[in-house]
Amino acid sequence: MSAELSIFDLVLEASLLVKFVMLVLLGFSVACWAMIFQRRHALNLAKKQLKSFEDKFWSGADLSKLYSEISVKNQIQGIESLFVAGFKEFARLRKSKITNPQVIVDGTHRAMRVALSREVDSLEIHLPFMATVGSISPYIGLFGTVWGIMNSFIGLGSVQQATLATVAPGIAEALIATAMGLFAAIPAVMAFNRFSHKVEKLENSYGNFMEEFSSILQRQTAIEQQT
């Protein structure tokens, strides 16, 4: 490509509206990449925390000691927040002299369900923005392209003889907007799909733990009622 048709020069010579469209798409792209790296770190951390906690939980550790160990942390998140919420409610209901095991288990399960909802909301932070960017960026880029091509054809009206050298810069300038729209949309869509799958897997793992933990507490309550 000749120097006259370099991408940098075309961007500088673009109309004000097309420049604004490119700037918006560039901002979307930068914001998405920052969120992609942040979400990737957060979801990998949640996965590691899940494995670490399950290793402790299923190693036969005393639940009271495990609760005391976790509850003193400054920040409780992930599956640990479900365990703390469930065990705390379980202990509270037992102290309240409730004798029906099913009532205790149901209350514990509700507490963990609320904690699960908060954790899923936390894991899904930024995902709606990525989905929005993936959906609208191509259309924003297409708008810039249509506007740029329209201006090019309007400019041809004042030229008696149109040549490729006259038409090409305006069309190339317009197509850059479409390219930038795709550049912003493709990573956003790929990241949204990948992270949504990871969140779904973590949510399923949290849900399985809730059911297993509830069963353990139900058996423990039933044994205490018999003795």
The per-residue pLDDT for range 3-31, each reduced to its tens digit, is: 455 666 666 667 788 888 889 999 999 99
The single-letter DSSP state of residue 140 is H
Q: Which of 177, 140, 163, 182 is nearest to 10 (CA)?
A: 177
Residues of the chain with confidence (pLDDT) below 50: 1-3
Average pLDDT, the chain: 85
pLDDT in tens, 102-117: 888 888 999 999 999 9
Give residues with Cβ within 8 angstroms of 132, minimum separation 6: none
Tell me what pLDDT residue 201 has: 95
Tell me what pLDDT residue 151 has: 75
53 near 147, Cβ under 8 Å? no
**Residue 149 CA: distances (Å) to CA of 23, 143, 155, 164, 165:** 18, 10, 10, 14, 15
Taken in order 180, 184, 186, 187, the sign of the CA dihedral is positive
Tell me what pLDDT residue 163 has: 61
| Interatomic CA distance for residues 72 and 111, integer angstroms | 19
**Secondary structure (DSSP) of 148-179:** HHHHHHHHHTT-SS--HHHHHHHHHHHHHHHH
**CB-based burial, 4-13: b 16+ in 10 Å, e otherwise:** eeeeeebbee
91 near 149, Cβ under 8 Å? no
Tell me what pLDDT residue 121 has: 94
Burial of 163 (0-12, 13-18, 19+ CB in 10 A): exposed
